[in-house]
Amino acid sequence: MTAATENNFTGAFAARYPLLSALFLENRKATYLVIAGFFALLYIFSLVLALLNPAATSEHAVAGGDFVVFWTAAQNAFTENPGALYDMAVLEADLQKAFPGDTSFSLSWLYPPNSYLMFAPFAGAPYTTSLLIWWTGGLAAFAWMLSRLWKNFAAIFIALASAAVFQALITGQTGFITATLICLAAFKPDKRPIIAGVAAGLLTFKPQFGLLIPVAYAAAGCWRAFGIAAITAVGAAAASMALFGPDLWSAFFNAITEHSARIQGGDLSNYKLVSPFGGLVILGLPANIALYGQLIVSAAAAVFVAFVWRRVGAWNWRMVALCTGAVIANPYAYYYELTILIPPLLLIAKRALDGSSTWRTGDRPALLLLWIAPLLVTGIGAAETLPIASVITLLAFLICARTVWIDGLKTI
């Protein structure tokens, strides 16, 4: 379509449908808000439907997905042998008892013992009540974190209406907590070492996402935050031992070893992994070769994060580097953790819209694609044979790395 033809079409459309023209052709912000609102309503409807479905428990399609494991862990936290839950057979029996049905859950409990401290408060509440608290609390914490990055209601609403947020909700997973903690850990640790260090230490409930935080802190010389993170992590581990017994840790390490073997043996849904490892396995590479590829990418991500944190003083570019690096460097990151990519992408949009930077080739379509793409990970028939999840992570990393490299280095 030539420019003249496009102008004629736009003029005719505006003349016939002035309201729609004003909304969709003249006001891009309103367009995005309408689209985001439409998807937000769809997500809310899906969540409410899941909660009200009377056949959910009998079919094991329990609302909240993986939250059934967290809630079950809370019920077992103060029993005589809470570590028994690391045995998949014991967990399956407990789930069958709580949610009776004819099919198998085939889930596992793989969180370190210090995570019992986070889930134990749910021990006294019914499942549905616990799930609603988990949803609203996690989403509120994440929204608050986004508001710290950009005080723009429209931008935050659009971010919260993204497919990554819906996947974190519908699976009942930890995406909001993980993303909030890693952002707090990256938010001015040189000036706010206590908050950043405590957040980094608490992130050890999912330690694979904190592997690059020591690299970042060391590169930037944030030694107070480094020390506070270490103290917090050790303190949480010690508290879990004191409350639940030291045997939990040996049970945890045994479970992790068995789980790693299952992943490399192809026994799990590798297409849900957002890592290069998951993508390479889906493309047909043997797991051991894919793991070597992952190690190369992880090392490169560590170098990238160290370089940015060493050379760039601006906290926003440091956060962009650490968040995207943490996801791509983790071989066992799943699609429900894509919420970690929302803050860095939000910061890129902010820089372009407030005049601090400019949109670069491919930025807008890439952000739009990344906004909706997480739905494709489990929403299309060919999802299990396509590395959609890992492509999402790779695209986000490339967009963020390019922006940091071009704009971030200007702040040196």
Question: pLDDT tens across 304-329, in order?
Answer: 999 999 999 899 999 999 999 999 99
3 assigned to some structural domain: no
Number of domains into which the chain is organized: 1
Question: pLDDT tens across 230-264, in order?
Answer: 999 999 999 999 988 888 888 888 888 887 776 66
Whole-model pTM: value is 0.89
8 assigned to some structural domain: no
pLDDT the model gives residue 57: 47
Confidence bin at 196 (pLDDT 50/70/90): very high
Q: What is the extent of the structural domain holding 313? A: 24-411
Q: Measured between alpha carbons, how far is 53 from 60 in angstroms, rounded to an integer?
A: 11
Distances (CA, A) of 201 to 119, 121, 187, 297, 387: 17, 20, 14, 25, 32
**If 0-12 CB within 10 Å is exposed, 13-18 middle and 19+ buried, where does residue 134 land?**
buried
29 assigned to some structural domain: yes
138 assigned to some structural domain: yes
Contact 272, 376 (CB under 8 A): no
7 assigned to some structural domain: no
pLDDT the model gives residue 3: 46
Residue 402, pLDDT > 90, answer: yes
Confidence bin at 22 (pLDDT 50/70/90): low
Neighbours of 373 (CB within 10 A): 22
Question: pLDDT tens across 24-65, in order?
Answer: 545 577 788 888 999 999 999 989 888 886 544 444 567 788
18 assigned to some structural domain: no
pLDDT the model gives residue 276: 94
Residue 100, pLDDT > 60, answer: yes
19 assigned to some structural domain: no
4 assigned to some structural domain: no
Q: What percent of the chain has pLDDT over 70?
A: 88
